[in-house]
């Protein structure tokens, strides 16, 4: 029987998100492909330094111990690489060195592998290559650009904290479009109050949240068997919304059958101030303005989706 990905949380990760490739990239840009190959071969057994998404991926995979069977994991992470299989060997050896539970990989020499996202049932593709992420988002695929940002990895802390912005990340940009059209907060709030019982349409990372929620359910089942078990996975919403626009957001999550552990309706308060205390292992936001300060305190991922990002491109 073929191995199926249908009922799992599947993450696609580029080596540029998983590891710090600054030295390797510098060799490629300075010396060309031939010397880059020699550099990777020479350093084949020297593990690559950890990258921005490393802690998130490792902690997420650690939740597979919640599955009743080792051969039926809740989470699958697949490497999607622009390297060819030969030069990608160092990446695979680095994964093995750090004991990361990743065994599947796609190598496509010089080509972006994001077109395989639907075929692999991927709920999130993480990459340090902005062009690849932009292209994936244009094709309505769930992708995020891993920014140069702070790294949080306290090995004594076994938990995994994930923080999401709401509009343009979990839901589409319908409400953001209303706000951007007139830059009027009162009109935005009136629109949300009028549509309070109408759930938002899904955004790029809706399926990621739904899949994460299923792992939270597995934790609750674990607690029934083992009352001493302490939940490791925590999900937070950190949004510029405030009352009364918060209610439609909560109704939307309920309609998907999910619930966040925490919700911060900040109404314009700088998100980085909350994130510095919350300390998520990864934070997703669609607005580069918010991420400029957020990336100084937490690992941050830009979701280049919706009207806000379209306006930015139009003014570039």
- In whole angstroms, what is the distance from residue 18 CA to residue 88 CA? 13
Find how far residue 64's CA is from the centre of its chain: 18
- In whole angstroms, what is the distance from residue 170 CA to residue 253 CA? 9
Higher pLDDT, 12 or 110: 12
Measured CA distances, 116 to 1, 113, 139, 308 (Å): 21, 6, 12, 27
Average pLDDT over residues 100-122: 94
Higher pLDDT, 260 or 306: 260
CATH tag, 160-315: 3.40.50
- Asked if domains 9-146 and 160-315 share a fold, the reply is yes
Average pLDDT over residues 116-127: 97
Find how far residue 214's CA is from the centre of its chain: 16
Condensed to tens digits (0 to 9), the pLDDT of residues 284-302 reads: 999 988 899 999 999 999 9
Higher pLDDT, 63 or 151: 63
Token pair of 2, please?
């073929």
For 9-146, CATH number out of 3.65.10.10, 3.40.50.1000, 3.40.50.300, 3.30.460.10 equals 3.40.50.1000
| Cβ neighbours of 85 (radius 10 Å) | 13
Taking the domains of the chain in order of start, what are their residue ranges? Answer: 9-146, 160-315
Q: What is the DSSP letter of 200?
A: P
- In whole angstroms, what is the distance from residue 186 CA to residue 266 CA? 16
Direct distance between the N- and C-terminal alpha carbons of the chain, in angstroms, rounded to an integer: 50
- At 16 the three-state DSSP class reads helix
Q: What is the mean pLDDT of the chain?
A: 91
Average pLDDT over residues 41-63: 95
User: pLDDT over 70 for what percent of the chain?
Assistant: 97
Condensed to tens digits (0 to 9), the pLDDT of residues 231-276 reads: 999 999 999 888 888 899 999 999 999 989 999 999 889 999 999 9
* pLDDT over threshold 90, residue 18: yes
Token pair of 50, please?
């950890």
Sequence-distant (≥ 6) Cβ neighbours of residue 132 within 8 angstroms: 14, 82, 112, 114, 143
């Amino acid at each position: 029987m073929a191995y199926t990905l249908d009922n799992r949380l599947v993450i696609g990760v580029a080596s540029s998100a998983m590891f710090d490739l600054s030295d390797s990239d510098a060799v490629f840009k300075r010396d060309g492909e031939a010397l880059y190959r020699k550099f990777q071969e020479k350093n084949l057994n020297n593990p690559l330094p950890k990258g921005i998404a490393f802690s998130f991926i490792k902690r997420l995979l650690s939740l597979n111990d919640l599955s009743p069977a080792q051969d039926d994991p809740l989470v699958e992470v697949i490497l999607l690489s622009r390297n060819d299989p030969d030069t990608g060997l160092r990446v695979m050896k680095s994964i093995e060195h750090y004991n990361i539970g990743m065994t599947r990989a796609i190598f496509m020499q010089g080509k972006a592998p994001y077109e395989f996202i639907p075929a692999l049932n991927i709920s999130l593709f993480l990459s340090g290559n902005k062009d690849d992420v932009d292209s994936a988002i244009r094709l309505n695929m769930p992708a995020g650009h891993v920014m140069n940002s702070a790294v949080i990895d306290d090995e004594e802390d076994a938990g995994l904290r994930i923080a999401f912005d709401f509009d343009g990340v979990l839901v589409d940009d319908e409400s953001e479009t209303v706000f951007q059209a007139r830059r009027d907060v009162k009109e935005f709030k009136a629109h949300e109050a009028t549509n309070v019982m109408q759930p938002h349409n899904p955004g790029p990372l809706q399926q990621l949240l739904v899949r994460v929620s299923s792992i939270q359910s597995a934790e609750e089942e674990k607690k029934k068997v083992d009352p001493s078990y302490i939940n490791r996975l925590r999900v937070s919403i950190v949004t510029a919304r405030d009352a009364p626009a918060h209610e439609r957001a909560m109704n939307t999550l309920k309609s998907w059958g999910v619930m966040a552990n925490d919700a911060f309706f900040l109404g314009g308060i700088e998100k980085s101030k909350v994130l510095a205390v919350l300390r998520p292992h990864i934070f997703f936001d669609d607005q580069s303005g918010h991420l400029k300060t957020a990336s100084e305190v937490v690992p941050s991922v830009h979701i280049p989706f919706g009207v806000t990002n379209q306006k930015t491109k139009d003014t570039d």
